[in-house]
C-alpha cells in the first residue's frame, strides 16, 4: 500500500467510515492535535525515561490512538470501533492517585522544566490543553459524547503529575515560581 493516495490533494480527507470532509474542520484539528500529542510523548520515550515511567508512556500512546480513532469516527458511523471509555478515565485517575502521594504537596506554582523528560512532559501537557480546547469546541458543534472531553481533561492533569514525577525519579528539584 502506498503512503500517498492523492485523494487529499484538494483539501479533503476521509473520516473513519468513509465520509469526506475538509481538512480544516474541527474534527480533523481535534484528532490531529491528539496525534501531535502522541508524537511528543514518543519524543519523551526516546529520552530513556525510568522504566516505570516509560511503561506508562507507552500505555498512553496506545490509548491516544483509541482517542484519535474515536474523534475520527462520527457517533452515527456504521463502522464500529473501540471508543475511549470511562475505564480509560478511571485508569488515569488511578495513576494520579498512586503517583501524587509520592510528590511534595504543591504550595505554589512550579516552573515547567527539569530533566529533559520532565520538560517534554510539561510540553505534552500544553499540547493536551490545546487539544482539549479543540475537543470542547467540537463537542459544542457535533455529537462526540462526553467521555472524550472528560478523558482529555484528566489526561492534562496526569501529564502534569508525570512531569513532576519524572523530576522526582531523576532527583531533580522543582523550581517554585516566586512572583517578583
Residue-level pLDDT at 13: 66
Q: What is the mean pLDDT of the chain?
A: 92
User: Is the Cβ–Cβ distance between 136 and 90 less than 8 Å?
Assistant: no
**Cα–Cα distance for residue pair 57/93, rounded to 1 Å:** 15
Label each residue of 111-128 as H, E or C: CCCCCHHHHHHHHHHHHH
Backbone angles phi, psi at 115, to 5 degrees: -70, 165
pTM of the predicted model over 0.75: yes
In CATH, what number does 21-75+84-92+109-169 get?
Answer: 1.20.1200.10
At 7, the pLDDT band (50, 70, 90 cuts) reads low
The predicted model gives 43-66 an average pLDDT of 96
Q: Tell whether the torsion through CA atoms of 158, 164, 168 and 170 is positive or negative.
A: positive
Asked if 115 and 171 count as a contact pair (C-beta separation under 8 A), the reply is: no
Where do the domains of the chain lie?
21-75+84-92+109-169
Tens of pLDDT, residue by residue over 129-169, are 999 999 999 999 999 999 999 999 999 999 999 999 999 99
For residue 4, the tally of other CB atoms under 10 A from its CB is 7
Mean pLDDT of 42-62: 96
Amino acid at each position: 500500500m502506498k503512503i500517498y493516495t492523492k485523494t487529499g490533494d484538494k483539501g479533503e480527507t476521509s473520516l473513519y467510515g468513509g465520509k469526506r470532509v475538509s481538512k480544516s474542520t474541527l474534527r480533523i484539528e481535534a484528532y490531529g492535535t491528539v496525534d501531535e500529542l502522541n508524537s511528543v510523548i514518543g519524543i519523551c520515550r526516546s529520552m530513556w525515561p525510568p522504566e516505570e515511567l516509560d511503561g506508562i508512556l507507552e500505555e498512553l500512546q496506545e490509548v491516544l490512538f483509541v482517542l484519535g480513532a474515536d474523534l475520527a469516527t462520527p457517533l452515527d458511523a456504521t463502522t464500529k470501533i473501540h471508543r475511549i471509555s470511562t475505564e480509560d478515565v478511571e485508569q488515569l485517575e488511578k495513576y494520579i492517585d498512586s503517583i501524587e502521594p509520592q510528590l511534595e504537596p504543591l504550595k505554589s506554582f512550579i516552573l515547567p522544566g527539569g530533566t529533559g523528560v520532565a520538560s517534554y512532559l510539561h510540553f505534552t501537557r500544553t499540547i493536551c490543553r490545546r487539544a482539549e480546547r479543540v475537543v470542547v469546541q467540537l463537542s459544542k458543534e457535533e455529537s462526540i459524547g462526553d467521555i472524550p472531553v472528560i478523558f482529555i481533561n484528566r489526561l492534562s492533569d496526569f501529564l502534569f503529575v508525570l512531569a513532576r514525577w519524572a523530576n522526582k525519579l531523576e532527583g531533580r528539584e522543582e523550581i517554585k515560581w516566586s512572583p517578583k
